[in-house]
Amino acid sequence: MKQKILIFLFLITSFSSVLYSQNFDDTLAVVTLRNVAYINSKTLEFEIHMQRYSWGWLKFANATFQLEFDNGYPFDVDNMNAFFDQESELKIQTQVGDDLPTDGYLFEPKIFKDRVSITILGPPDFDYCEKIPNDTTLLIGKFYLQSQTNDIPDKLRWKTPQNFYQHCAYKLEKDSLVDDYIIWYKEDDNVPLIGGPKGLFVMQDDSRRGYQFVHNDLFVNYAGRLDVDIKFNSLSEYRVDGYTIMRGYSFPGVPVNYTDTVATFKNGSQFFKEEMISKGNTRSGHQYGTIKDVVAYRGGEYAYSLYGHFTNSDEVYKDTLLDVATVEVPNAVIVEAKATPQNFEERTNITYKVEDDVYLTIEVYDLNGKFVKYLNVRSGGDIAKNSEVKKNVYETEFIAPELASQGLYRIIFTAIPIKDPNVEISRAYVDVQLLK
């Protein structure tokens, strides 16, 4: 009986793969090594992708993929580890004892002296296996190689010969046809994707990097009480070790002198913060923060600069300015106080903005300077009598006393900033007219 020949191609690229003009008429699948990149000189990450090129099969069953360093560099079995990143477009199932996976895929990377081997075990039933697309690639998995001692190379390739080191199979939904030139596979059997008669490989190498560094934005926000909140994010990251944030005071018409370190990834610094360490190479970006800063003085504009600390392929370090942002720290803390309507017969609403956390008092006096009453912080809320109020916009109301005389009333807002060594007192006035 003649065995049906199924051509299985492995495509290698250190970054993104391009198929160019190769003829894939007889190809069942293309497996691609992508985005091989340093996280640091002792840690290498890489991805394995797969695309189906035939309607003769649909679902992925299992595989063993084996890789070696491009220059034949040996693997240190005692001091090197391989990890699965738990990132895959296949459903992931965690190992439970010695049982095989039932409705997901189990990933088992392992180091040998001349290679790293990645075994992927799938469900025994066709219904629980994952479809491999034919119009795009599917991420089989993202993996790491990590050395505990020595630096490792940054290039990988498939281990050859293919038919000896590489194995992949698809899942059969039903019995295959019985013929004199077709092997009979039963329902739910794993059917190997077998290399061509010459063990054909298609080798492609695209010089474009699978990763690059793209900064997105730096956000600074005055949170009150002289506190500033800082956040930043990236769209993608590559070879950045960490970040540093500097602060300076912004004088009109003068370049900012960034003299104060707010936070840095550099261990040993008194400003070290763990959240400033890069979260690793990524094509989808990372979020950082909130990082807290405390400014010394109220009033004026503070400027912040964000630096990235990069390592190139020659282990040369460089601090690069990525972004700057400014924030206004208010001097007056009560602003935009306004009565609606200003002329009223029974009650009027007063809106006001507090630009910092304060101890607030709201008093009403008549035209003769006689105290009338305290108002609430907000309508229906607590009395504003040296009350702690957070930075926000508020609305309260003044209801004239039943026996109040017609005429002018003055509403006085007095605010003392919380956590301010200068103890500045801010006042605002709103005049309203009672009509009877």
pLDDT, residue 100, reads 80
Task: Decide: 365 and 340 in contact? Cβ < 8 Å.
Answer: no
Give me the pLDDT at residue 298, please. 82
pLDDT of residue 313: 53
Long-range contacts of 169-175 (CB under 8 A, 24+ apart): 169/61, 169/62, 169/63, 169/193, 170/28, 170/57, 170/58, 170/59, 170/60, 170/61, 170/132, 171/59, 171/60, 171/61, 171/122, 171/126, 171/129, 172/57, 172/126, 173/58, 173/59, 173/126
Extended beta strands in 269-381, E state:
287-294, 301-311, 317-328, 334-340, 343-344, 347-354, 358-366, 371-374
pLDDT on residue 97: 67
Q: Write out pLDDT tens, residues 222-249.
A: 998 889 999 999 998 888 999 999 999 9
**Enclosing H/E stretch for 165:** helix 162-165
**Band of pLDDT at residue 43, cut at 50, 70 and 90:** confident
Q: Show me where the domains of the chain are located.
A: 7-203, 214-328, 334-434
Would you tell me which CATH number, out of the four given (2.20.25, 3.30.1330, 2.60.40, 1.10.10), belongs to the domain 7-203? 2.60.40
Same fold, 214-328 and 334-434: yes
pLDDT 10s digits, 75-94: 999 999 999 988 999 999 88
Residue 7 has pLDDT above 60, yes or no: no
- CATH topology for the 214-328 domain: Immunoglobulin-like (2.60.40)
| Helix, coil or strand: residue 386 | coil
Between 14 and 56, residue with greater pLDDT: 56
The listed range with the strongest mean pLDDT (1-5, 95-99, 188-192) is 188-192
pTM of the predicted model as reported, rounded to 2 decimal places:
0.53
Confidence of residue 196 (pLDDT cuts 50, 70, 90): very low
Across the chain, mean pLDDT equals: 83
pLDDT more than 90, % of the chain: 44
Residue with structure tokens 């293919």?
A: 162
Residues near 342 by Cβ (< 8 Å), separated by ≥ 6?
348, 431, 432, 433
208 has pLDDT over 50: no
**Distance between CA 224 and CA 294 in Å, rounded?**
10
Considering the chain, what percentage of its residues have pLDDT values greater than 70?
A: 84
Q: Is the pLDDT score of 14 beyond 50?
A: no
Q: Model confidence at 143, in pLDDT bands (50, 70, 90)? A: very high
Neighbours of 293 (CB within 10 A): 19
**Whole-number Å distance between alpha carbons of 9 and 6:** 10
pLDDT at 367 over 90: no
**Residue type, position 288, single letter:** Y
Residue 217 has pLDDT above 60, yes or no: yes
* Extended beta strands in 41-71, E state: 43-52, 59-69
| pLDDT tens per residue across span 270-322 | 999 999 999 988 877 899 989 999 998 888 899 999 999 987 655 556 789 99
Inform me whether the pLDDT recorded for 17 exceeds 60: no
CATH level 3 topology of 334-434: Immunoglobulin-like (2.60.40)
